[in-house]
Structure formats: structure tokens, C-alpha cells
Amino acid sequence: MRNETFPKKTTNTKLYGGVAAAVLIAALAGFGIAKLTSPSAPKPTAEAQVEEAAPKNLTLNTEAIQQAGIQLETIQAGGLSSEILAQGSVVSSPSGQAVMTARTGGTVMQILKRLGDPVRAGETLALVSSNDAAQIAADRRAATAKATLAQQTLTREKSLFDQGITPRAEYEQAMAEAEAARAESARASVAASNAGITSDGRGTAVISPINGRVTAATASLGAFVQPETELFRVSDPAKTQIEAAISATDASRVTPGDRVSIDAGDGRVIEGTVRSVTPALDVQTRTATAVIDAPMAQLVPGRSVRVRLFVSGNGGNSSAIVVPEEAVQSVEGRDVVFIRTKDGFRPQPVITGQRSGGRIEIASGLPSGSTIATKNAFLLKAEISKSAEEE
């Protein structure tokens, strides 16, 4: 019995082992088929890869940006052919500078303002003692007295005429004399006012017609001056303009209203516009002058600046973006510019083109109208590198 059942048990064990192996093979085969037939995971898009590889945004408030000396510039479309680089100088506009002269001949008896002093419109800078001033003051008093007398006579003649005592002719004569006296009094008053006659009538006051600062003072205490001798110049720093010399070829391309970028030389970039271009060339320099309007409250007349004119027509129709070379930084082997955001800056990968005069064209990657970091943009690059090392 034992010998007969042993072989059967062995046979059953082998059978069970074969079935188990078959089940395992089937399971593995099914797993492989399922793996091969299941949908593959979506590959990241090119945009996602770029976004994943792009440096992280920087959080920086306005105060920190100013303390770091990071300058911002809003860029517009226009290739290098659309830009004209020129030297300019800050000058006072016609309404921003006043020349004060001695209205009458006399002696400078008091100087109230010195070179560089602030001046308000209507403020006295100096007093000149003058015999001519005394004569003008006397003429004014005499004319005023005559006008007063003529008016009194007219009033009396009108009363007599209304009562029928005097004829109309005498009344009309009184009217004419009163009108003439009033006209003479007005003339004498205007003359005295224009001359700046002092209240005591002994001299004239040198008065500034504008607000500003004294930029020239040639008056000397006790000196005798002739009429119309220049004594002071006053300039209003808020009323200035820039005059830039451009070639005859470039002058034909520039039109009023063209945008101008002004490099003040101290790190500031000021935006302006072309107001006019002289139609004729300077005889000596053979250049035209572009007059540029800009808010120049902190630039004094006489200062030299570098200007960049962005031509809107005649060769200025390129769609390329042009930025200062210092605005383009290399981060992780790629050229980027830093676009200003509400919280700080966003590094934007770009493709660059030709370079000229410290400027570089952006072939793609940067939309027109973006505000980017220019001066000291390398500080943002350093901050990104520092953050990457810390991680």
C-alpha cells in the first residue's frame, strides 16, 4: 500500500508545481502586455522644459531696486538703424532764462542777491541810485496831479452844464482835457513801473521776472552803470531743453515727436521727445540742431549729455528690439534680460543679434513695451547665482 501510494503523491506534486509555474508565466506575460499596451505618460512640452530650466523669479521691492542703483527702461521696437546717437547740451528754454539790466544810468547802491541764490518772480536783486529815476518819478507825480485836477474840473463843468450855466462847448472841453490827463498819468505810471522806480523815487530796482537761480552776476557795489548794462542772469532749472547736433543725413530722418533717450551721465536715463529740427545747417559745423523737450529739473544749463533719437519713419520701421548691452546677462549659459514685474524681476531668455555703440538687438524673446533692468542688471544675475548655490 505504501509503495503504491508514494508514486501517486509524487505525481500530484509535480502536477501542482507545473500548474503554479504556468500561472506565474501567464501573470508575468499579462503584466508585460499590460505595460506595453498601457498609454505612456505625456512628455513635458518645450514650454514646460524651458520654464522648468529657466531661473527663478526675483522678489525685490522698489526701495531695494533704488538702493541697488538698478535702472529701468521701457523698450520699444526699432532696430539699430532706427537709432541716432548724438551729443547734446542742456540749455535754458526761451522762457526759462531772464537777463536783468540797469533801466537807468546810476550807481549800484545795494546788492541783495549773489551768484547761485534762489530768486522768486518779482523779487529785487539790486538797487541803483539814479538821477534819471528821480526825473521819471517826478514826471509820474506831476501827471497824476494833472489828472486829478482835470477830473475835478470836469466834475464842476458837468454840474454847471446840467444847471444851464455853462455852454456845452466848455463841458466838452473839460471832458477832453480830463481824458488827456488820464492818458498822460497812465503813461508816466507805466514808464515808472518798467524802470522799476523805488517808492521813494531815488533809484531803480533790478527785479527778476521769473523764478529760478542767479546764474550770472556782474553787478559791483558802488559801480556806475550805463542804461541797459547787464547786471544779472536768472535761469529756471525746470524750463530747460536739450540741443543735439546731428548730421544733415540724419536730420532728414528725424521728425517732431520722435522719442529720445537721454543719458544724464550719472546713471539716470531720462525720456524726452523731439520738438523741432532746424531747417538749415550750421555754417561752421555743417550740422543741424534737434531741439529736445524733457523734464530736466535736475540738469543745469551747460551740462553735456548723450542722446539717442529713435526715428519713427524713413528707416525706422524695424521690428527688432534694441537694449543696452549691460541689460543682457548670461545665466546658466543663456542670454537673459530681467523684466520688471509687480513683485520684482523675471529673467527672460532672449536671442541676441548685432551690436553697435553699446547697444544690442534682441531678435526674439522680448515683447515691445516691456520694462527691463539696464544699469546694474548684473546684480540680479548675482542674486540668482547666490540662490542657486544655497539650494
How confident is residue 154, by pLDDT bands cut at 50, 70 and 90? very high
Mean pLDDT, residues 288-296? 86
Euclidean distance between CA atoms 84 and 315, whole angstroms:
11
DSSP per position, 125-153 = EEEEE-HHHHHHHHHHHHHHHHHHHHHHH
Mean pLDDT, residues 50-71? 75
Query: What is residue 294's predicted lDDT score, i.e. its pLDDT?
Result: 84
Does the pLDDT at position 195 exceed 90?
Answer: no
Q: How many helices (H) and strands (E) does the chain have?
A: 7, 23
How confident is residue 66, by pLDDT bands cut at 50, 70 and 90? confident
Given CA atoms 328, 330, 332, 333 in this order, what sign does their dihedral have? Answer: positive
* Helix 168-195 vs helix 131-162: crossing angle, to nearest 10: 160
Q: Indicate the DSSP class of residue 344.
A: E
Long-range own/partner contacts, residues 363-369 (CB < 8 A, 24 or more apart): 363/320, 366/75, 366/321, 366/323, 366/337, 366/339, 368/75, 368/76, 368/77, 368/321, 369/74, 369/75, 369/76
Question: Are 381 and 332 spatial neighbours (Cβ–Cβ below 8 Å)?
Answer: no
Mean pLDDT, residues 99-116? 92
Q: Tens digit of pLDDT for each residue in 7-17?
A: 444 444 443 44
From residue 12, how far is each of 1, 4, 165, 218 by CA, in Å?
17, 13, 165, 129
How confident is residue 290, by pLDDT bands cut at 50, 70 and 90? very high
Compute the half-sphere exposure of residue 254: CA atoms within 13 Å on the CB side of its CA: 30
Question: Are 138 and 215 spatial neighbours (Cβ–Cβ below 8 Å)?
Answer: no
Question: Among 75-79, 163-167, 284-288, 344-348, whose mean pLDDT is lowest?
Answer: 75-79
| Beta-strand pair 203-207/58-59 | unpaired
pTM of the model: 0.53
Question: Are 307 and 244 spatial neighbours (Cβ–Cβ below 8 Å)?
Answer: yes
Does the pLDDT at position 3 exceed 50?
Answer: no
Question: Are 269 and 263 spatial neighbours (Cβ–Cβ below 8 Å)?
Answer: yes
Between 94 and 209, the higher pLDDT residue: 209
Strand partners, 224: 107
Euclidean distance between CA atoms 367 and 377, whole angstroms:
18
Q: Tens digit of pLDDT for each residue in 298-354?
A: 677 788 888 888 887 544 445 667 888 888 998 888 899 999 998 899 999 998 887
Listed residue (84, 85, 78, 80) closest to 368, CA to CA: 78
Does the pLDDT at position 1 exceed 50?
Answer: no
Query: What is residue 6's predicted lDDT score, i.e. its pLDDT?
Result: 41
How confident is residue 83, by pLDDT bands cut at 50, 70 and 90? confident
Query: What is residue 2's predicted lDDT score, i.e. its pLDDT?
Result: 43
Query: What is residue 314's predicted lDDT score, i.e. its pLDDT?
Result: 47
Mean pLDDT, residues 55-75? 83
Distance of CA 15 to the CA centre of its chain: 95
From residue 356, how far is each of 46, 85, 262 by CA, in Å?
32, 11, 17
Domains defined along the chain, listed by start: 53-79+319-390 (2.40.420.20), 85-95+236-304 (2.40.30.170), 98-235 (2.40.50.100)
Given CA atoms 266, 269, 271, 272 in this order, what sign does their dihedral have? Answer: positive
Question: Among 157-166, 203-212, 217-226, 303-312, whose mean pLDDT is lowest?
Answer: 303-312
DSSP per position, 258-274 = -EEEEE-SSS-EEEEEE
Mean pLDDT of the chain: 80
Q: Burial code of 15-43, b = ≥16 C-beta within 10 A, e = fewer? A: eeeeeeeeeeeeeeeeeeeeeeeeeeeee
Query: What is residue 53's predicted lDDT score, i.e. its pLDDT?
Result: 47
**Residue type at 220 in one-letter notation:** S
Question: Among 37-41, 84-88, 196-200, whose mean pLDDT is lowest?
Answer: 37-41
Residue located via cell numbers 455853462: 166
